[in-house]
Structure 1
């Protein structure tokens, strides 16, 4: 399934790839022109034949209680920004708050903390 046109190379499409990291299945949203290699199954590096490095891990925001769905990625690709709801469990109490995220070339997504 493709989610949209790649914002970095403009000639690839963003697709969903299933990966396994530390025994857990995680989705990787990556450009069709991004080809990855790994030796240990955890650290992924671009291969020499890759012409684009776009990637967003499904669990990129998991420390904030948010896993990115393919719908989130599709909206982020269309609008370049997305408002998401995070969960904080500070002091044993659950608090929900909203922040905007944007695309980031190195980390996939970045939170705008303002």
Structure 2
């Protein structure tokens, strides 16, 4: 039986690019949900203030994704649209074109 994989990736856009990056992620995850049957859920989120949760993070955008198994996540990472997204906005040869200051990605299971 496949074991679901939960992905939390946190993103800090360069100053002045938060809205643009949020929109780009919405488009990217929409494409992910449309084309990848192994992607069960995918959300682009921002932290909201709440008195019961006073902590904050420097990462202003958080992607929450669920895949049916690890191979489905690997497939996602190797799609043309994810590879192109990284080459265009994160690992561009021209550093001025990069829109992300810092990011991290972590995978979780229910075991």
Q: TM-score range by the shorter chain?
A: under 0.3
TM-score, normalised to structure 1's length?
0.24
Higher strand share: 1
Higher relative contact order at CA 8 Å, sep ≥6: structure 1 or structure 2? 2
TM-score, normalised to structure 2's length?
0.25
